[in-house]
Structure 1
């Protein structure tokens, strides 16, 4: 029989972000004792690679606290970062369902993070013997892949400055605090997220600053509510022109 997944029976729940406690509890609701007892946590610093594309999968990772980025490398050696995704997700589960032995992408921390880790063999055994768990894993994987597909589709209609503006709008809607978004990403990160070159990123940032769409605070970018609305209007115009 499985345990009731609570902070009393699963101590790592005391360490995860408050808004993720319920997600973890629901995710592992039907998990048996042997799986819950195998879960470990690890605190890692900002900028730490968790795994690389092509590495053998030994562990399934969940993010209990912080932000991570997922990067794909194409055959030409260029990188592309996935859209940031903050919902519950099991990194490595897609490959397990596809019966692939190696990671299909690279995972790296963007902030200090708390990783919740499950051995692959135990995770695999669980979803192969628990239809509720399998449905849950499949549902969340579908949400993740749909989010990435929508992002890629939107980018097809946008060029240069509008791509970067759309990215800032998306991040503002997800991560702004008290109406203000602060970004400390380097230019290469912004290039990897949008698929435009670093030179174009620099040109777009100068344009946005000069036109009042964003502000610069030291090495950081700051976007308030008024600037967010200007960027959103700009991207909507870009979509209308493209379509």
Structure 2
């Protein structure tokens, strides 16, 4: 084991408190803390199912590759999320999708057998996982609709209205990944939104106020399905 006390992890990464606060100590002792740089693969589609991960900090992209090798986003998971639990719960042998970090990430890693033992002993965890899986299904469904029915500027706009007001911390490259388009396309979309007053540029960084978010939500760029279901 290379993990510190549970209380220290909760203090440093409060978003995982819900998940681990009632975790039995013998389960906790079998966990490891891992840090990934942005853009690193966590696992590949078709790889052996060996681990389940809890996201302490950062953003993880779950995706698959189409026949041309292009990445098709399935879902983005933020801190407090779980990766690999679906395959573990259905007793799968391999990973259905690939996963990589969008930003620098800190994860709690455990073996599949340890995860299954944990679910069998913690009813509270099972309720959290049900809620998490429902949100994943909803987000994945919304992603499908966005990619099939929406243009790049509509996909970007639908994400901007759910971002926190203020200066966006994500890079253009991260926005491109989230929208499934090139950085050049994102730059054109950002420029157009800035020209129309929906966002403000601050030293090449994107700034969006609550007022601008409201304007953007009412604009022709926002996918109606996304705004009603998120």
TM-score above 0.5: yes
**Cα separation, partners in 2 of 1:202 and 1:43, compared to 1, 3 Å:** closer
**Cα separation, partners in 2 of 1:185 and 1:73, compared to 1, 3 Å:** farther
Asked if the contact 2:198–2:208 (Cα under 8 Å) also holds between the matched residues in 1, the reply is yes
Which of 159, 166, 181 is equivalent to 1:180?
A: 166
Alignment-derived partner of residue 76 in structure 1: 68
The alignment status of 1:13 with 2:9, answered yes or no, reads: yes
Q: TM-score, normalised by structure 1?
A: 0.74
Q: TM-score, normalised by structure 2?
A: 0.77
**Cα separation, partners in 2 of 1:116 and 1:157, compared to 1, 3 Å:** same
**Cα separation, partners in 2 of 1:72 and 1:190, compared to 1, 3 Å:** farther
Q: Which runs of 5+ in 2 are unaligned?
A: 226-230
Alignment-derived partner of residue 67 in structure 1: 59
1:15 offset after TM fit, Å?
Answer: 5.2
Distance in 2 (CA, whole Å) between partners of 1:16 and 1:235 is 41
Deviation string 1:38-67 (CA, Å, 9 cap, x unpaired) is 112123333333223232222110011222
Deviation string 1:75-112 (CA, Å, 9 cap, x unpaired) is 33211334434363321111112332222223223333
3-state DSSP of counterpart to 1:54? coil
RMSD over aligned Cα, in angstroms?
3.1
Alignment-derived partner of residue 175 in structure 2: 190
1:156 offset after TM fit, Å?
Answer: 4.6
